[in-house]
Chains A and B, each alone.
Chain A
């Protein structure tokens, strides 16, 4: 399966298992979603469980909060992460706080799916990576898969989870892994081992990272598309790096991070999102606090620049092989 099919399969599996799971969002019903992630679901489960919504993100999330309070398990879609901002009040002030402010009387067991990230010439409003906004909010979990196998397992876990979860899907790797070499032909998930996805139920526990390459020389922390870019650049550089795919940003797998950095003594953090106050800053602070005496070099952050996401200059903005390569030289210096 490609990542879209895996995500579709996760919703299919969960809708079949739990009659309280419902799917809604702009164009998700009859049409099956602008990325086809919900294709076929309405025909299979009916309009009462999979339906199109008006174009109002604050309404979509607000309605999902009410459905959760009733006892449903909504899986709302926000068409692009760039358009999640109108729903911020409902997410930050309501969904994230509901359990806390009602001392557990009401909960918001929703999973907000949203395509995110760049690398597709999406310009300013089809490329953003706003995960740092949500990791800063207490009460929501933030999950970002990097493969079809993980996407399905993590999405099933998120839907089953009783806390509100933001599930960001890196749309650049919907159809195939992307290694950052944008001028090379696109790849397909069919040739990648993680494209092997079971058709039935399985889940991947939230809060657990995955070591995608074991190594001794350096720890690379990445998630989403950047996991693949990191792998390619590390392979080309011939460095024995340990690459960790975080998969869940909140709650974070701090044990995996700590164990790795204490072993390697060096740490590089990679994300597409802009640098200042990005999630990389939190990762850097945590590594510094917990692994200070093991560090042999300053922690490196490879990120998008602190600008809106540009259109024509996309590959100058994107933290690709050159930027990662330069940072590698820096962090590996003696």
Chain B
């Protein structure tokens, strides 16, 4: 290409393309992952200016140490009851995931996404926020709904797209929407919820309300333009919003390097926007709680937004349609140096004499039974493709507030097709 002789002596450029450290078959060694010790990272006042704690964007807020003790300035000093409740919620999320993953493999639903290993990210946040605060989640924060005590049957109805589905079978499984529980409608389009959460927070502020909003996306989605728009808006208007970036190292098959992780942290994105940034051990339920409570206090006192990077690991496949064995080493999940969030909180409770293995095993069994019972109840309303879906004509509901003529015509056409088919497609009530 460069036919110009004047350039002949210059060194050719080369394009750098990131590559994860380990591929299938490789031995895993995470010793290069820099992990500040628990209790080491300082805790500033929530009213301090964002520019005064830039260092926190590169550190790691950790509470639970190697000896299963809660240490340091970020220790939220939760009561044993609250911690047991946190543990129970996380375990319930995992039991729910296990059951629904299996339901997908049994053909009862088309699709599912687990959050294994990331339970603390959503559950602890739900504990630290007020119930009235609005959450704008991505698809991997089912823990918010479960921690807020939402009905498992209702969630399963949505997964099964059955006649009990509050979303009328309109949405892909797990794209929940539960306004009553402060859980905003999930979209398939990544990061779109980010500016929306800012808009909700701005509205709350403009109205003199006291509620705040929180939003979540994966580290991969931070590359979307909406992330930048949201950070800019939040910074400009000091919106009472918490941005959560769940850095689970993987965006389907792409490692976090493709979102920029080789050069900096995701919490450090906050620095350039003048937003408070925290980097948190996402597998430490107490650290996630403490960081969220800190950010919530900051937002509630009109000090503006906070961006929290939750440093964690996506322990399983991206979805039921994914096979991580094709692109990463099998050894990664077990070698992950921050361990498992449920085990770590459990070990802490045991270490302080507030829990034991027997109670834990009994709880796991009880939760599995709860989930199974909920599943049976949900399946009474039907599973995917078994005819127990919403009435056929609901297909047109909600495009607009009222049906315009062209949708009425198409609805009539569809019902005529049902008649022409000779077999009823809908179980009409």
Listed in ascending order, the chain A residues whose CB lies under 8 Å from chain B are 22, 48-49, 53-54, 56, 58-59, 61-72, 74, 86, 89-90, 93-94, 97-107, 138-139, 141, 161-163, 207, 250-252, 254
Report chain B residues within 8 Å CB of A56.
228-229, 232-233
Chain B nearest Cβ from A138, distance in angstroms:
5
Cα of A68 to Cα of B197 in the assembled complex, Å: 11
Q: In the complex the two chains form, is A22's CB within 8 Å of B189's CB? A: no
The answer to the question of B244 belonging to the interface, with a C-beta cut-off of 8 Å to chain A, is no
Q: In the complex the two chains form, is B406's CB within 8 Å of A254's CB? A: yes
- In the complex with contacts A101-B175, A101-B187, A93-B401 CB distance below 8 A: no
Q: Could you show 8 A-B contacts with beta carbons less than 8 Å apart? A: A49-B206, A59-B198, A63-B196, A66-B136, A67-B200, A72-B206, A106-B184, A254-B405
Q: In the complex the two chains form, is A62's CB within 8 Å of B204's CB? A: no
Q: In the complex the two chains form, is A103's CB within 8 Å of B400's CB? A: no
The answer to the question of B71 belonging to the interface, with a C-beta cut-off of 8 Å to chain A, is no
Q: Which residue of A lies closest to B194 (CB)?
A: A62
- Of the candidate stretches B29-37, B162-170, B286-294, B323-331, the one touching chain A is B162-170
Cα of A317 to Cα of B195 in the assembled complex, Å: 38
Listed in ascending order, the chain B residues whose CB lies under 8 Å from chain A are 134, 136, 166-168, 170-171, 175, 177-179, 184-185, 187-189, 192, 194-204, 206-207, 213, 225-226, 228-230, 232-233, 236, 397-401, 404-406
- In the complex with contacts A89-B189, A163-B400, A251-B405, A103-B166 CB distance below 8 A: yes
Chain B nearest Cβ from A206, distance in angstroms:
10
Report chain B residues within 8 Å CB of A54.
229, 232-233, 236
Report chain B residues within 8 Å CB of A69.
134, 184, 196, 199-200
Report chain B residues within 8 Å CB of A67.
199-200, 202-203
Q: Which residue of B lies closest to A70 (CB)?
A: B203
Q: Which residue of B lies closest to A52 (CB)?
A: B236
Q: In the complex the two chains form, is A207's CB within 8 Å of B170's CB? A: no
Cα of A101 to Cα of B213 in the assembled complex, Å: 21
Cα of A254 to Cα of B171 in the assembled complex, Å: 31
Q: In the complex the two chains form, is A138's CB within 8 Å of B399's CB? A: yes
Q: In the complex the two chains form, is B196's CB within 8 Å of A103's CB? A: no
Chain A nearest Cβ from B285, distance in angstroms:
28
Q: Chain A at the B interface: mostly helix, strand, loop or mixed?
A: mixed
Chain B nearest Cβ from A254, distance in angstroms:
6
Q: In the complex the two chains form, is B233's CB within 8 Å of A59's CB? A: yes
Report chain A residues within 8 Å CB of B184.
69, 106
Q: A48-B206, A49-B206, A62-B195 are in contact. List 14 more A-B contacts (CB 8 A).
A: A56-B229, A58-B226, A59-B195, A59-B198, A62-B226, A63-B196, A66-B201, A99-B400, A101-B167, A103-B167, A105-B166, A107-B401, A163-B401, A251-B406
Q: In the complex the two chains form, is A59's CB within 8 Å of B229's CB? A: yes
Report chain B residues within 8 Å CB of A163.
400-401
Cα of A100 to Cα of B394 in the assembled complex, Å: 10
Report chain A residues within 8 Å CB of B203.
66-67, 70-72
Of A64, A97, A100, A207, which contacts B199 at CB under 8 A?
A: A64
Q: In the complex the two chains form, is A70's CB within 8 Å of B233's CB? A: no
Report chain B residues within 8 Å CB of A64.
199
Cα of A116 to Cα of B62 in the assembled complex, Å: 54
Cα of A251 to Cα of B402 in the assembled complex, Å: 11
Report chain B residues within 8 Å CB of A62.
192, 194-196, 198-199, 226, 229-230
Report chain B residues within 8 Å CB of A97.
187
* Interface hub of A61, A103, A104, A250 (most chain B Cβ within 10 A): A103
Report chain A residues within 8 Å CB of B401.
99, 107, 161-163
Q: In the complex the two chains form, is A70's CB within 8 Å of B200's CB? A: yes
Report chain B residues within 8 Å CB of A252.
406
Q: Which residue of B lies closest to A251 (CB)?
A: B404
Report chain B residues within 8 Å CB of A71.
203
Cα of A48 to Cα of B207 in the assembled complex, Å: 9
Q: Which residue of A lies closest to B401 (CB)?
A: A162
Of B179, B197, B236, which contacts A66 at CB under 8 A?
A: B197
Report chain A residues within 8 Å CB of B236.
54
Cα of A22 to Cα of B406 in the assembled complex, Å: 32
Q: In the complex the two chains form, is B233's CB within 8 Å of A101's CB? A: no
Q: In the complex the two chains form, is A101's CB within 8 Å of B170's CB? A: yes
Cα of A58 to Cα of B198 in the assembled complex, Å: 12
Cα of A207 to Cα of B192 in the assembled complex, Å: 30
Chain A nearest Cβ from B426, distance in angstroms:
16
Q: In the complex the two chains form, is B400's CB within 8 Å of A139's CB? A: yes
Q: In the complex the two chains form, is B177's CB within 8 Å of A66's CB? A: no
Q: In the complex the two chains form, is A63's CB within 8 Å of B199's CB? A: yes
Cα of A48 to Cα of B201 in the assembled complex, Å: 13
Q: In the complex the two chains form, is A66's CB within 8 Å of B202's CB? A: yes
Q: In the complex the two chains form, is B404's CB within 8 Å of A207's CB? A: yes
Chain A nearest Cβ from B170, distance in angstroms:
6
Q: In the complex the two chains form, is A63's CB within 8 Å of B397's CB? A: no
Cα of A59 to Cα of B197 in the assembled complex, Å: 11
Of A48, A53, A61, A106, which contacts B185 at CB under 8 A?
A: A106
Chain B nearest Cβ from A95, distance in angstroms:
10
Q: Which residue of B lies closest to A55 (CB)?
A: B232
Cα of A49 to Cα of B136 in the assembled complex, Å: 23
Chain B nearest Cβ from A207, distance in angstroms:
7
Cα of A64 to Cα of B192 in the assembled complex, Å: 12
Cα of A318 to Cα of B188 in the assembled complex, Å: 40
Q: Which residue of B lies closest to A206 (CB)?
A: B404
Chain B nearest Cβ from A253, distance in angstroms:
9
- In the complex with contacts A101-B175, A207-B404, A251-B404, A139-B198 CB distance below 8 A: no
Report chain A residues within 8 Å CB of B194.
62
Of A49, A61, A70, A102, which contacts B167 at CB under 8 A?
A: A102
- In the complex with contacts A53-B233, A89-B189, A105-B196 CB distance below 8 A: no
